[in-house]
């Protein structure tokens, strides 16, 4: 399906810096690394059942990106009957890269931006893989 | 004298990922939480709230809420009213964008977007003050503690309600139904020590405080009043 895109859906959890890191990584992929191939959708709009948002999710590939173990982005997508093609948690990337520590929620700082770039790199590879090979 | 919890205002931001206004709602909310009104506010993680977060939903049922939305779809407002109850105030970021202002940055906000965020943050703070003033009239509101700028300038975690623990409540029966009232025991302890003597005084005092932490439907006040006073006397062992 040539017209398909990959939607990156972060939780954007406002209470913790890892939620901000997921949001930043999403923008890094859709605006810098894979513009035109990747996009995002408002999670709250999707969860409240907006038809256009639901259509976007069901007709494209999805990658959920959560900030904490509660996996709200993934759960909210699954609640619509769609299983994301890939699911990530920023906390897992942080565990693998403890030196890349986010500073805060409003400004994730140098460490947070470095962590965001690491996550975005992995996800951008997924974007290419999904668009080339589809769901496996 | 027994202490009652301070009135806190929950700020629910839409954080809409697709549009700059979503990021503005988030930044404005954080500014209020961390800098403008850190002691009077807490936030609710909207995705957790939507995913069924019990504590977040309960928090929004007990405390007054202000929703901050990035567009006219009002997701934060709709979600809060669907799962918890009527919001105290609703703010749409787009109402604070001046004619001719174009917002383009959704990742790192530029000068224009930051100015809008400041306007929205000021409006949230004004609404917080009004809600706290109204709700605090009936309780002794203790002096704010000083918070250092280091503590609030760039918190890695903020005043979010997740993990805040279950809010205490008692259940009362009336009209054949069981109703959960938050902080009722604390209110009983407070009123039992504040000098109110007659049943009418006590009923007024308790009802006023119950309204501070709970939503009472219009037209139900008398029914609540009788049931609560009966429960109060039973709690004190009077069994009236």
Domain ranges of chain A: 6-133
Cβ contacts of A24 on chain B, cutoff 8 Å: 107
Reported as a single tens digit per residue, the pLDDT across B51-103 is 887 777 877 877 889 999 999 999 999 999 988 888 999 999 999 999 988 99
Q: Which of B82, B154, B162 sits opposite A103 (nearest CB)?
A: B154
pLDDT band for B49, please (50, 70, 90 cuts). confident
Mean pLDDT, chain A, rounded, equals 93
Q: What is the pLDDT of residue B162?
A: 55
The three-state secondary structure class of A107 is coil
Q: What is the pLDDT of residue B145?
A: 42
- The alpha-carbon gap from A47 to the nearest alpha carbon of chain B, in Å, equals 7
Q: What is the pLDDT of residue B238?
A: 60
Chains A–B, number of C-beta pairs less than 8 Å apart: 116
CA B20/CA B159 separation, integer angstroms: 24
Reported as a single tens digit per residue, the pLDDT across B8-28 is 899 999 989 999 999 999 999
Q: For A28, name the nearest residue in chain B, comparing CA atoms only.
A: B107
Q: How many helices (H) and strands (E) does chain A have?
A: 6, 4
Q: For A70, name the nearest residue in chain B, comparing CA atoms only.
A: B48
Q: Is A24 on the interface with B (CB under 8 A)?
A: yes
Q: Are the Cβ atoms of B155 and A43 closer than 8 angstroms?
A: no
CA A56/CA B81 separation, integer angstroms: 26
Q: What is the pLDDT of residue A129?
A: 96
Q: How many residues does chain B have?
A: 240
pTM: 0.77
The dihedrals phi and psi of B51, each to the nearest 5 degrees, come to: -80, 0
Q: What is the pLDDT of residue B142?
A: 36
Q: Is B214 on the interface with A (CB under 8 A)?
A: no
CA A21/CA B173 separation, integer angstroms: 47
**Which among B51, B52, B69, B159 is the top mutation candidate for probing chain A, defined by the most A β-carbons within 10 Å of its own β-carbon?**
B51
Q: Are the Cβ atoms of A41 and B17 closer than 8 angstroms?
A: yes
Residue B185 in this model has a pLDDT that exceeds 80: yes
Residue B174 in this model has a pLDDT that exceeds 70: yes
Structure tokens at B111: 């000068």
Tokens 């996550």 correspond to A119
Reported as a single tens digit per residue, the pLDDT across A9-50 is 999 888 889 999 999 999 999 999 999 999 999 999 998 889
Higher-confidence position of B221 and B33: B33
Q: Is B156 on the interface with A (CB under 8 A)?
A: yes
Q: What is the pLDDT of residue B139?
A: 56
Residue B123 in this model has a pLDDT that exceeds 80: yes
Nearest to B187 by CA among B167, B217, B219, B212: B212
Q: Which of A9, A42, A105 sits opposite B155 (nearest CB)?
A: A105
Residue B3 in this model has a pLDDT that exceeds 80: no
| B96 conformational bin, left if phi > 0, alpha if psi -120 to 50, beta if neither | alpha
Highest mean pLDDT of the ranges A10-14, A128-132, B206-210: A128-132
Q: How far is CA A1 from CA A4, A130, B29, B201, in A?
A: 6, 10, 40, 72
Reported as a single tens digit per residue, the pLDDT across B148-164 is 444 434 444 455 555 45
Q: How far is CA A8 from CA A65, A66, A112, B40, B216, in A?
A: 7, 11, 18, 34, 42
Residue A63 in this model has a pLDDT that exceeds 50: yes
CA B218/CA B214 separation, integer angstroms: 12
Q: What DSSP character marks residue B144?
A: P
Q: Is beta strand B169-174 parallel, antiparallel or unpaired with respect to B177-182?
A: antiparallel
């Amino acid at each position: 399906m040539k017209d398909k895109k990959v939607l990156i859906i972060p939780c954007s959890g406002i209470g913790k810096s890892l939620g901000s890191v997921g949001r930043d990584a999403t923008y890094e992929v859709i605006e810098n690394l894979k513009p035109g191939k990747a996009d995002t959708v408002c999670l709250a709009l999707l969860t409240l059942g907006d038809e256009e948002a639901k259509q976007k999710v069901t007709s494209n590939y999805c990658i959920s990106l959560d900030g904490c173990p509660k996996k709200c982005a993934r759960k909210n997508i699954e609640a619509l009957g769609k299983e994301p093609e890939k699911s990530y948690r920023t906390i897992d990337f942080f565990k693998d890269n403890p030196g890349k520590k986010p500073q805060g929620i409003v400004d994730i700082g140098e460490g947070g931006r470095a962590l965001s770039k690491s996550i975005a790199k992995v996800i951008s590879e997924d974007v290419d893989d999904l668009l080339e090979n589809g769901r496996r | 004298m027994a202490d009652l919890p301070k009135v806190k205002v929950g700020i629910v931001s839409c954080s809409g990922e697709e549009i700059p206004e979503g990021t503005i709602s988030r930044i404005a909310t954080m500014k209020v939480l961390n800098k403008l009104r850190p002691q009077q506010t807490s936030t609710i993680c909207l995705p957790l709230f939507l995913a069924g977060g019990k504590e977040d939903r309960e928090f929004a049922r007990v405390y007054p809420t202000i929703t901050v939305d990035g567009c006219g779809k009002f997701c934060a407002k709709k979600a809060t009213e669907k799962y918890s109850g009527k919001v105290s105030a609703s703010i749409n970021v787009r109402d604070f964008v001046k004619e001719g202002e174009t917002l383009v940055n959704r990742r790192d906000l530029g000068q224009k977007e930051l100015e809008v965020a400041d306007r929205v943050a000021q409006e949230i703070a004004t609404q917080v003050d009004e809600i706290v003033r109204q709700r605090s009239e009936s309780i002794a509101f203790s002096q704010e503690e000083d918070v250092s700028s280091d503590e609030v300038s760039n918190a890695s975690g903020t005043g979010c309600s997740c993990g805040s623990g279950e809010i205490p409540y008692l259940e009362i029966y009336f009209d054949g139904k069981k109703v959960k009232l938050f902080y009722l025991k604390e209110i009983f302890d407070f009123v039992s020590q504040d000098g109110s003597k007659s049943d009418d005084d006590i009923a007024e005092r308790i009802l006023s405080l119950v309204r501070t932490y709970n939503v009472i439907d219009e037209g139900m006040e008398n029914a609540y009043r009788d049931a609560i006073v009966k429960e109060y006397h039973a709690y004190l062992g009077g069994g009236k």
